[in-house]
Each structure stands twice: as structure tokens, then as C-alpha cells.
Amino acid sequence: MAEKSKRPRAATGTATGELHADSDVWQQYRHMAEAAGDVLFATDSAGLLTNISPAILHLTGFRPDELRGRPFAQLFPASWADYVHELEDGQRAVLPLRAQSSGEIYAELLLLHYEDGTLRGILRDVTERYRIERSLQESETRYRAIVEDQTELICRFRTDGTLTFVNDAFRRYYNQPLEALLDHSVFSLIVPEDQPVLREKIHKLSVQQPTLAHTQRALVGGEQRWQQWTLRAIYNLDHQVAEIQAVGRDIHARKEAEAQHRLDLIRYRALFERTNDAVFIIGLNGLHLAANQQAARMLGCQIDEIVGARIEDFVVPQDREQMRRVFQQLLNGDKIPVVERLFRRKNGDEFPAEINIAMVYDEKEQPLHAQSIVREITHRKQTEDVLQRALLQVETLYTVNQVLINAESLEDMLQAFASIAQDKERTGAALLYVQSDVQGKPEALELAAQIVPFNKQGEDIGTRYALGDNSMWSLPYNDGRITSIVDTESTLPNGSELLAQGLRARGLRAGVFIPLTSRRSQWVGLVVLAWPRPHQLSVYQQQLYTILAPQLATLVENRRLFEVTQAAMHSLAASEERLRMVLTNAPVVLVATDAEGRFTLVEGRSVEVLGLHPEQLIGQPLKVLSEAVPEVEQHFKRALKGESFTKTVETRGVALETRYSPLRTPEGRIAGVIGVATDVTERVRVERELNQRVEQLVALQQVEDEVSENLNIEYVLTMALDAAVRLSGSDTGFIGLLESDVLRVAESVGNYQRDSQLEPYKGIIGRVLRHQQPELVADVHADPDYVAFIPKTKAKIVIPLISHETVIGVLNLEANKPERFTPETLEFAKLLAARIAVAVDNARLYSRLETQVEELRQLYGQVKKLEQLKTDMIRIASHDLRNPLATIVGYLELLRWDKEEMTPDHRDYIESIGRATERMQKITSDILSLERIEETALEEQTESVDIADLVTRLIPEMNDQARKKAQQLSFDVPPHPLQVTGDSIQLTEAMTNLVNNAIKYTPPNGQIEVLLRRDGLSVIFEVKDTGIGIPEDQQGRLFEPFYRVRTVETKKIEGTGLGLHLVKNIVDRHNGRMIFSSVYGKGSTFGFSLPAKE
């Protein structure tokens, strides 16, 4: 759509013809407009419509009669009215129209005539075209936005190279403003040498292909850089190439890598330069990557002329297709046998060569490149020709010799060799290799090839036959001459019986054994010819075999040597590749110098950490390393004197451990120095950290030992703070202890005043105490909670002292240099703070314990006095009660004499008094016994007591008591003594108490068993009964003084409650152990265990 304009108005219109409404020209225009569906209009000088064709109805929805007499400008939006009046004759413009519908209507206005304010023109409906053009503009805008966001280089240019568009990535890459690129030639951005290639690609896009790949070198900031482009043709409506769109990227790094790869191949050229064969390295694309000097000499050209050439470029034209097929087979994974091809030198001379080509794989079994070993065989071919000419005189010998020389396998050689003896019937044959021991002495023959019918025993290739006195092969080995057996059933030559047996075993009747001896008189092998029927060689045939045997021996030997050499070469190539990969990837640098101190070998990427590359050092003197490693010259000179040693140096943040050794010639002369440097940076770092950690742990252990041995709180605080400040590198610090609502500086180093008081919950210290978490503040002035006490402080470590989950204080360390405090320092300080907290808590507890011990000591004195008072009262009471009780007992006995004269009630009274007095006597007796035990508790027991004898003495008394209750009492006492150390009276009293209790609490007809035995180092005494037993809930108090079991069964059984308490005290005094078990209603077991006396 046309833009609104403020152009000055023409003074008068330019007439294009007479266009009055009634003119012929106007009528012609009207007919043409109606035919085209356009609207023809006319106005008067006031701008009012005087004429408008009916097509306006279709365009705007207004009828012509609705518009006549109205201003022409009202057909358009108000904002466009001025623009309409500014149009001049012949001008066109696309304008929006007013319409009855809500949709947008656009018309193309063609002003045909303007004069004196009157207008004549045509309106054409272009709504659909306008929408399409606007959609195309929007698509173009979106396309440009997408392209601008791409990281690839994108541009468009005409076929003449003029740039019409570039994206932002393109501008940034070339670092040029947009105006410096657009409408300029793309060829100005390319090196002159590559411009013809781009022109050729543009031509191909114009006539052949819609898309092409293109690689070129561009000029970027004065530097040549490789680029890779994809070119696509953009066609106009006539299907002609209007522009070319290019999408590219920078591949300079890849190209440099490829160049580096070629340099690496050259670097390792020495690995195959010494071989006498020509060696070629071929890339997977069929282009030569490298070649040795022998290859260059063979082809009569320079190595640079070989590198980059195709694999088939050096053979004669008729062999090139075959070479391409061989290489394709190699790429497909096939193994290629040795082939011969005719090569052509640079000067045009042709020569035959033998080619051995194989693929080289990396450690992942991926192909790296192909390696071809080419050996010129001109001399060999010449020799063959000479031999052929010499043997023309003997046709058979010539034929056989030709077959032998050109045989591709041992079977072919053997077949040709056997053909000399071929008669009407087929000749069987076998070829056997000689196998030697480590000293080179033949020890066995190995079957290498055979022709049926020699093999009738299933002998396979590789079968070995030992050489010895009992071997059939001993005769030809020892004799060294041809041995013939015409018939195994007739007379045999001397010593050939074993040979005949071998033939017979294979179903054969005749045979010839031909030793193969090399020109060095070394036995190579043996050929055996055999027939199923008797057979004799002619003299002529024997002469031929005599002549051909050395030739076959040489061929066999050469073949074996070739196989060994080929295997060795493959192994060498693999070893070289492995060595190269190891030296490249390992963190090791291998360096060698000559006697003058110039580098001859530098291998390994680790040298790059010194800012150098291996290729930069080759041929350079030692001083090029002096800046990075100042000691290097001194070390190499020391090694040149014949000394081998190891040195570790650190430079540029790298630690290198280098082993220096003199490099000697076979004659022992020092020709240089070899050094192997290993990157040990990580090991050195770990060792330093380990040493620092060990030093901290040793110091920590020393602090822990000192504070654990001394519980004086002041000493503990002094030692702990000194260690914390010293080992953390602090300038000042203190240990504060929480006391009531203040933090008292209990110990300080530096500017803090000892015994001063701080507010505990202010500043960083307050935050640490609240959160109970240690903090390292690297910049105290950036911390909003910091309260300055010491102006020079820059960093701070604050650790709460926590013991048993309670904060008891704080360790505060401060440094004037922030770098002194690291996370490792914080971790170490935390360990130290934990020990300080425990040590402080222990010292406090020790101080508190000393106070409590003193209080206990005083309390113990008071308790001891009360205990003595109690003991005296008990002793007095017990002694004083015995005399009155004795009097009462005496009078009771007198009364019992006259009980026959008493009434039953009187007799009951007397018995009640008797039981009461017995109980009182028992109580006083037990009390006195307890007193006696306590008095002798500290006395050492030295008496040896036979406890078996004590139990035996109890038997009569206890039996009497048991019989009174009709109980069964049994004793199991060993016949031999059981000795213990103790008091016999007290032990007797304890055992009597236990047996009495069993009798007392066992019903009539019950069973009681008394057991005494030795169990290891103990003597066991037990009393088992079937009495009433003891409830489980009362068993815990059995041995308390004056405690009695409360059950229905025990209500009528009298007792004092002191018996078991007395027994336990006696057992404890004798270092024994009580034995007890009981089930209520079933019975009980009481006893004790005492240490046996040895």
C-alpha cells in the first residue's frame, strides 16, 4: 500500500486526452473498465463525484446513485483524503476503501486526468493481492528473524557475487558493519586462490544442481580461515537462479587438526625410515598421508609429491582399476594377500613390485589408516628370467622351476616338485618343516603340505614327528642324501627299515625321501614322494631332484622367513602404534638429547603444561627450557657425566619427577641423555596436605594428652588457647565461659583483657551462641553483626564450646590477614574446640567433684559415728537380753516338769511362752552373728576349710528335724575333701540356716535334697526342696533384713526374717555368690558358690 505523502501539488494537471463524460475517449475507458470489472469515476472541480461505474457496488457495497454528488475523498478513510488530492496524472496508489462490510477492502487508484480540480480515474479491486503481498512481507520478516538467531553463517548473494543479505552471526564472524557487506562482492571475503572454485560452483548451481557443498579459505581479520558451505539456488518465477543462499561454518580447527595429524605422521617417520622396503600410509579416503624415504627413492620423487596423491597414481594405467578394487576390499574389512603390480617412476620407468597392504586399527578396533609395504622385485624378476633362460635346455626342469617360483602355496610347490616323478599313476607327496630347539638343533618334523594318497592315517597339517633313534625320519636326517625305497616288500637299503615300516603303515609300497638343505648347509625340511605300488626313479629324475632340492629349500626357507618377517612387521607396527598412543596420552614426557645438549626426541603432551609444544623443542638447545625449569641444564650435564638419578622440580604450578640416564652407544660411549618426566603434581599436593594434616593431628593429640592429664581449669584453658592460636595462625583470641548472664574472658592471647566480661548475645559471638554453629567470617567489616574490639582484625573464627548438648562458652580467634583462615583451618579449630569443651567440662566436673568428695568425707564421718552408736546399742541390747531369756527358759523347763498337774489352758500358755522365748533367742543369736561378721569383715581369711566335712557333720542333726515332719532328706556329698578358704563356724551357720529353712517351709512328706560338688574353680552348695515356694513378686526382697514372705502358707510359720540376710553376708564375706530359684507352689533352690582352694 502506498505511503501517505506531503508532496506539493502540481499547479495544473497533465492531460492524457479528452476525458469529458461524453467524449469518445471516456467511453472507451468506460467499456474497458467494465470489461475488466474495474470502477471508472469522474468528479467536478469541487471534488464531487459526477460519474461512477456500477462495478462500485461489487467493490464497496454502495450503489452508484448513493455516491453521485458526494465528495470523492469520502470513498477513503479520513487519514488518506489529503494523499488522494496530491496524486498527479498517471500515478498509481493502493488505498483502503470505505465499505458497508466490516472487512478490509483495498483498491488500486489510477489517476488518468486532472485539470482545474476535476479528476478522472480508475479504481481496481486489489484486496486479495494486497493480502498476499502483506503475508509475504510477514513471512519475509519471520524468515529474517529466524536466520538472525542462527549460529551458522548465513548469507544470500546474486550470481555475480553481490551480497544481498547476511545474518548477525555472519557480521560478527567477519567483524564488519552491515553496510560494509551488503552490495559488496562475496569474492572480496575469499582468498584469491579459492575464488575460481566458488565461481565454478555458482555456474554449476545455475545449470546443473540445486545444492552443492563447498570448502574455501576466507580472509577474516587479515587471517586465512577454512570454511565449509552448503550452497542452495533460489529461483524466480521464470525458474532462473535469482540468488544463492549459503549456510556455512568455520572448520579451521578441524583443518588444523588434520594438518597436525600429518605432522604427527611425519614425526613418527623414523619408526619406519630404517626399513629397506618402501612404506606408504594411506588415509581412509585413498590419499597418501605419509611415506618413508625409501618410497621416495623407489619412485624417484620427493615425499611431498607422494603425500596427497591417490593410491593408484603410481601404478601403470592398466593396473589402476585393480588397485582401487583392492583398496575397497580392504575398507570392507577383507584381508588382502600379497599382490604384485607394475609401478611407474617419475621419469617414466616401469618396474615390478610386491605389495603387502593392511588396515591399522586403534584401541577401539576402529580403522585409522592403511599401511602398504612395497618391495621392488626387479632384481628378483631378473633372476627368474636368467634361470628360465638357463633351463630352456631342460624343458621339464624349466617348467617345474617356473611353477615352484610362482607357486602361491606350499601345496602348489609340492605338486610341481612331485610332477617330475609323475608316471602313469598318481604320486603322493608330503612336505615337512624342520622344527629346531632353542639351541638350533633339529628336534622334530612338522607336516606342512601333502598330496593324497600319501596321507592315509588322518594326519593333519601341523602334525609333528619327533626325531630320534627310533624315528623313521632319522635316516634322511643323518645321511643328508636322497633315499629311495623301490619296494617295501623286497630288499631294502641299509638302515631304511624304519622308513619302510612308515610306508607300509600308510598302505604304500615305494617312496623317495629328499632332504631340503639350504645353501648354508642348514636342513630346512624333507620332501617325501610315495606310491601304492613299487616305483623307481630314473637317473634323470634323480638328477633333477638333486638340482631342484636346494632351489625348493631356498624357496621354503624364504617363505618361512617372509612369514616370520611379515608377522614381526605387523607386531612392530602394532607396538609402534601402542607406544605412540601411550606416549601421547600418558602424563609422561620422554626427552632425549645428543651429546651437545640439543633435543632429539620429545614425546608426550605433558610438556605443554610448561607452555611449550614438543615440535618446538626438536633441535633446540637445553636453554629453551631454562625459564620454565632453571635446573634442567645442570641435571642434563650431570647425566652426561654418566650418572643416573631422579629429581623432582616444581614450576608454573606443576611438579615433575624426572629420571635422568646417560644414553650410551653399543660401544659404551655416552651419546646423549634420556629423561623421563612424570607429572606428580597431584601426588605432591596430596603429600603436602597429608603432612599438614599429620602435623595438625600430632599437635591435636599433644593438646589432648596435656589437657587430659591435668584437670586444673586454668592450666587447661592456657594450654588449649595457646594451641588454638598457634596452629590456626591467629593474631589474637580468647576462650570465654558463660557464667550467669555474662561471658567471662577466662583466658586470652593478644589484646583481650583476661577476666573481663562481655555481653554474650551481641555481635558475631552472640549469633554463634544463639545458633550453636561455628562460623568463619572472612571479612568482618562486611558482616552487619560485627562489633569491633580490635581495629586490625580482618577475619574471625568463632566456635561454640558445647558439652553434653549444653553451650558452656566460646572459642574466639582473630587474624589480621584474611588468607590465614581457610575452611581447613575452621575444621581443625572445630576439632580443637570439641576437645577444649570436653576438657573445660572435665575440669569443672573435677573441681565440683573435689568439693563433693570433701562433703561426702565429712558426711561419712558422721554416718560412721552413727553406725558405731547403732552397733553398740545392738551389742548391749543382745547381751542384756540373753540373761533374762536364760532365766525365763530355766523357769519354763521347771514348769514343764509339772505340766501333768496343769489345766490344758495353762499348758497352752506355757508353750506360747516357750515359742516366744525361742524366737527371741533366735533373733539375738542372729543379731550377734551379724555383728560378729561385720567386725571380722576387714580381716583376711586364711583358714583352709573342708566344706565336705562340715556338711557331713550336719547330717545327723538335720535328719532328726526332717524325721519329725516325715520328710525325705537326702545328702549328695563327694567322698573326697573340697577345700575353701574361710571361717568354718560362719560357713556351718550359713549351711544350717539354708537346710533349716527348707525343712521349715516344706510340708510333711516333702522331699529335700542337699548337694555339694566342684564345678571348675568353684565349690557349689545347694538345697533343693518341694516346699511351698516363693511368689515372683516377693523374690526381689528375700535377702533384706527382717523381711518375711507373706503368703497363706507362711502365716503359721514363725521366723525372724534375718536368716537369709545372715547367709548372704557370710557368702559375700567369703567372695562367694548366692544361688536362688523358686516357683511358687512347686519348691525352691537356695545355695551358694565359693572359690575353690587350689
pLDDT tens per residue, range 858-906: 887 776 676 666 666 666 555 556 667 767 777 777 777 777 778 887 7
Q: In what order do the strands lie in the sheet with 350-361?
A: 288-291, 278-282, 367-376, 350-361, 339-344
Residue 6 lies in a domain: no
**∠ Cα 837 843 849 (to 5°):** 130
* Cα gap 139→23, rounded to integer Å: 47
Q: Are residues 616 and 647 in the same domain?
A: yes
- Closest by Cα among 731, 754, 937, 699 to 820: 731
Q: In this structure, are residues 1009 and 1062 in contact, taking their beta carbons and an 8 Å threshold?
A: no
Same-domain pairing of 751 and 607: no
**Of 659, 679, 699, which marks where a domain is finished?**
679
pLDDT digits (tens, 9 = 90+) for 13-52: 334 445 565 677 777 777 777 777 788 888 888 888 888 8
Q: What is the pLDDT of residues 270-319, one digit of tens each?
A: 566 667 788 899 999 999 988 888 889 999 999 899 999 998 999 999 99
Q: What pTM was computed for the model?
A: 0.29
User: Residue 871: its pLDDT value, please?
Assistant: 61
Q: How far is Cα 623 from Cα 611, in angstroms, rounded to an integer?
A: 15
725 vs 979, higher pLDDT? 979
For the four alpha carbons of 159, 162, 168 and 172, in that order, the dihedral sign comes to positive
pLDDT in tens, 812-850: 999 988 888 888 888 888 887 887 888 777 777 877 787
Is residue 809 located within the same domain as residue 850? yes
Provide the 10 A C-beta neighbour count for residue 775: 17
pLDDT at 75 over 50: yes
Pairing of strands 968-972, 1007-1015: parallel
Contact 773, 799 (CB under 8 A): no
**Integer Cα distance of 1021 and 998 in angstroms:** 14
Q: Is the CB of residue 736 less than 8 Å from the CB of residue 758?
A: yes
Q: Which helix (H) or strand (E) holds 189?
A: none
438 and 556, same structural domain? Answer: yes
Q: Which of 561, 565, 584, 563 is nearest to 573 (CA)?
A: 565
Q: Is 47 left (phi over 0), alpha (psi -120 to 50) or beta?
A: left
Do 461 and 524 have their domain in common?
A: yes
Residue 959 in domain: yes
Same domain, 50 and 198: no
- More confident position, 988 or 209: 988
Residue 460 lies in a domain: yes
What pLDDT does residue 563 have?
A: 73
Of 10-14, 612-616, 1016-1020, minimum mean pLDDT range = 10-14
CB 1074 within 8 A of CB 1085: no
Could you tell me if 239 and 284 lie in one domain?
Answer: no
pLDDT reading at 54 higher than 80:
yes
Does the structure show a pLDDT above 70 at 397?
A: no
144 and 136 Cβ atoms separated by less than 8 Å: no
Tell whether 93 and 165 lie within a shared domain.
no
- Cell 614425526 maps to which residue? 267
Rounded CA-CA distance 420/544 in Å is: 8
Same domain membership, residue 287 and residue 235: no
Q: Taking a C-beta distance cutoff of 8 angstroms, is the pair 59, 97 a contact?
A: yes
Helix (H) or strand (E) holding 695: helix 681-709
**Which H/E stretch holds residue 670?**
strand 670-679
d(CA 1, CA 134): 9
Angle between helix 904-935 and helix 984-1000 axes, rounded to 10 deg: 140
Residue with cell 588396515: 359
Q: Per the structure block, which three cell numbers stand in for 111? A: 489517476
Answer whether 454's CB lies under 8 Å from 430's CB: yes
Count of domains for the chain? 7
Q: How many CB atoms lie within 10 A of CB 802?
A: 18
> Which of 539, 565, 591 represents a domain boundary (last residue)?
565
pLDDT in tens, 140-156: 777 776 666 677 898 99
Determine the number of helices (DSSP H) and then strands (DSSP E) in the chain.
Answer: 28, 39
With beta carbons less than 8 A apart as the criterion, state whether 730 and 723 touch: no
Does 446 have pLDDT greater than 70?
yes
| Model confidence pLDDT, tens digit, residues 1002-1055 | 999 999 999 999 999 999 999 999 998 999 888 888 888 778 888 878 777 777
Contact in structure between 343 and 299 (CB atoms under 8 Å): yes
Query: What is the layout of strands, in order, in the sheet containing 1083-1091?
Result: 968-972, 1007-1015, 1018-1025, 1083-1091, 1073-1079
- H-helix or E-strand spanning residue 1043: none
**Can you give the residue range of the structural domain that contains 177?**
150-250
Q: Name the helix (H) or strand (E) containing 253.
A: helix 252-267
* Residue 369: CATH number of its domain: 3.30.450.20
Q: How far is 405 from 416, CA to CA, in rounded Å? A: 10
Domain with residue 752: its CATH number is 3.30.450.40
Residue with cell 575353701: 980
The pLDDT of 564-588, averaged and rounded, is 70
The CB-side HSE value for 764 (13 A sphere, CA atoms) comes to 24
C-alpha to C-alpha distance for 164 and 186, rounded to whole angstroms = 10
Please state, in angstroms and rounded to a whole number, the distance separating the CA atoms of residues 933 and 269.
Answer: 106
Q: How large is the average pLDDT for residues 909-920? A: 74
Answer yes or no: is 418 within a domain. Answer: yes
Q: Angle formed by the axes of helices 1059-1069 and 904-935, to 10°?
A: 20
Give the rounded percent of residues in the chain with a pLDDT score beyond 70.
Answer: 81
Regarding whether 154 and 84 lie in a shared domain, the answer is: no
Asked if the structure places residue 903 within a domain, the reply is no
Adjacency order of strands within the sheet including 49-52: 49-52, 39-43, 118-125, 105-115, 92-97
Same domain, 97 and 224: no
Last residue of a domain, one of 629, 645, 679: 679
Please answer whether residues 756 and 731 qualify as being in contact, where contact means their C-beta atoms are separated by less than 8 angstroms: no
Where does 726-830 show beta strands of DSSP type E?
A: 732-739, 742-749, 757-758, 775-777, 795-803, 806-815
Peptide bond preceding 442: is omega within 30 degrees of 0, i.e. cis?
no
Same domain, 523 and 561: yes
What's the pLDDT score for residue 287?
Answer: 93
Burial of 339 (0-12, 13-18, 19+ CB in 10 A): middle
Q: Please say whether the beta carbons of 1078 and 1085 come within 8 A.
A: yes
C-alpha cell of residue 967 = 520328710
- Considering the domain boundaries, does residue 572 fall inside one? no
What's the confidence (pLDDT) of residue 187? 92
Question: Which residues have a Cβ under 8 Å from the Cβ of 1080 and sit 6 or more positions away?
Answer: 1028, 1029, 1030, 1031, 1032, 1047
**531 occurs within a structural domain:** yes
Residue 604 gets the label, from left (phi > 0), alpha (psi -120 to 50) or beta, of: left
Q: Which of 102-116, 684-698, 969-983, 1060-1074 has the lowest mean pLDDT?
A: 684-698
Could you please report the per-residue DSSP string of 822-883? -HHHHHHHHHHHHHHHHHHHHHHHHHHHHHHHHHHHHHHHHHHHHHHHHHHHHHHHHHHHHH
pLDDT of residue 644: 85
Residue whose C-alpha is closest to residue 612's, from 622, 600, 621, 624: 624
Mean pLDDT of the chain: 80
315 DSSP 8-state letter:
B
The residues that bridge with 680 in the sheet, in sequence order, are none
**Which whole-number Å values give the CA distances from 888 to 22, 424, 763, 895, 908, in the listed order?**
177, 154, 88, 11, 16
CA distance 72 to 84: 9
The reply to whether 1003 falls in a domain is yes
